[in-house]
Amino acid sequence: MLPFVIKRLVSLTLSLVAASLVIFFVIEVVPGDPASFMLGLNASPETVAALRDSLGLNASAPIRYWQWITGLLQGEFGISYTYKVPVRDLILDRIWISMPLAVYALILSTVIAFPVGVLAASRRNSPTDVSIMGVTQLGIAVPNFWFGMLLVLLFAVTLGWFSAGGFPGWEAGFFAGMKALTLPAVALALPQASILARVMRSSLLDTLGEDFVRTARAKGLTRRQALWRHALRNALIPVLTIIGLQFSFLLAGAIIIENVFFLPGLGRLVFQGITQRDLIVVKSVIFLLVFAVILVTFIVDITYAIADPRLRRARS
């Protein structure tokens, strides 16, 4: 087991180094100078030069890369060019919106997808199954930002049950915070739930065709008993894999939803950072998201190896 973990750790580190290089150099070649952007149309070239100097933009690329990486290792992300506050503080503030939103959406999508998927599989080819398949197909096809706008029009503009967006802050209370995250979480969860329900259904149908289920049925279990007692647990493995993937997606992929609901989360921070050329913020947030995704993959790998000794042997 240990050699396997070490091997995975080395690969994790190499992935991070490669990612940091790619992020740094992609951002290097992005056209647009942060200093000119901040000073606008009337500034003289000397003023721009003075600002570039004070932002530390005049050092050579390898030096700036080194400064960035050594800073990251010490937990120092630098100072935002535009906001003039430490990037770490910006990220810490906003992760408390993006993370709960992702978890909320994940829970919603799982809670919706499980029963729906099981129902569809247990009544295969019935009208229920056909309509569930139709609705989930639609759920995958509808873009989440558009669905979000519809939710706003109905629940905020017409019914007035929710705010159209924004976030009051957790200091306004747990429920006020959750309420503000509800519409965005529903908008994010719908496509995810649709995917998950379909995966659940097909995985369950696959398992129901396996020999051990037939054996269970031969022993006298009803179809439903066989499903609940034997098939379901085995069908969960691919579903859990999808859930793992979805979490990274929900965390990193909320950029558009955060704009639709004007939530000050990580996605909006990246979006604003790009348009304002606050490149130090962009690099650090993207690196953090990459780190989260790589870490989740690492944990999933290790969990598989624990669950299934064959994997461990095959890889080490």
Partner 1 sequence: MTSVFKALAFAGAVAVSTALTPAAFAAKTDITVGAQLEPPNLDPTSGAAGAIDTVTYSNIFEGLTRFGPDGSINPGLAESWSVSNDGKVYTFNLRKGVKFHDGSDMDAEDVKFSLERIGADDSTNAQKALYADIESVDVVDPHTVKITLSKPNGNMLFNLAWGDAVIMSPETAANNATNPVGTGAFVFKDWVQGDRVEMERNADYWGEPAKLEKVTFKFIADPNAAFAAVMAGDVDTFMPFPAPENLPQFDADPRFRVIAGSTEGETILSTNNKMPPLDNPKVRQAIAHAIDRQAIIDGAMFGYGTPIGTHFAPHHPSYVDLKGQSNFDPDKAKALLAEAGHPDGFKTTLKLPPPSYARRGGEIIASQLRDVGIETEISNLEWAQWLEQVFKGKDYGLTIVSHTEPLDIGIYARPEYYFQYDNADFQKIMTDLNNTTDPGERDKLLKAAQKKIADDYVNGYLFQLANTGVVNAKLQGIWENAPTQAADMTAVYWED
Half-sphere exposure of residue 126: CA atoms within 13 angstroms, side-chain side: 7
Is the CB of residue 204 less than 8 Å from the CB of residue 238?
A: no
Q: How far apart are CB 272 and partner 1 at their closest, in Å?
A: 7
Is the CB of residue 282 less than 8 Å from the CB of residue 28?
A: no
Q: DSSP secondary structure string, 91-155? A: HHHHHHHHHHHHHHHHHHHHHHHHHHHHHHHHTTTSHHHHHHHHHHHHHHHS-HHHHHHHHIIII
Contact set with partner 1 (CB under 8 A) = 31-34, 36-44, 47, 50-51, 53-54, 82-85, 90, 93-94, 149, 152-153, 156-157, 160, 163-167, 169-170, 172-176, 259-262, 264-265, 268-269, 271-272, 275-278
Closer to partner 1 by Cβ: residue 4 or 37? 37
Closer to partner 1 by Cβ: residue 22 or 92? 92
Closer to partner 1 by Cβ: residue 71 or 169? 169
* φ and ψ of 74, to 5 deg: -95, 5
Q: How far apart are CB 59 and partner 1 at their closest, in Å?
A: 17
Q: How far apart are CB 181 and partner 1 at their closest, in Å?
A: 14
Closer to partner 1 by Cβ: residue 200 or 261? 261
Closer to partner 1 by Cβ: residue 41 or 218? 41
Q: How far apart are CB 268 and partner 1 at their closest, in Å?
A: 5
Using a 10 angstrom Cβ sphere, with 0-12 exposed, 13-18 middle and 19 or more buried, the burial of residue 241 is middle
Q: Which two tokens stand for residue 58?
A: 């005049």
Q: How far apart are CB 35 and partner 1 at their closest, in Å?
A: 8
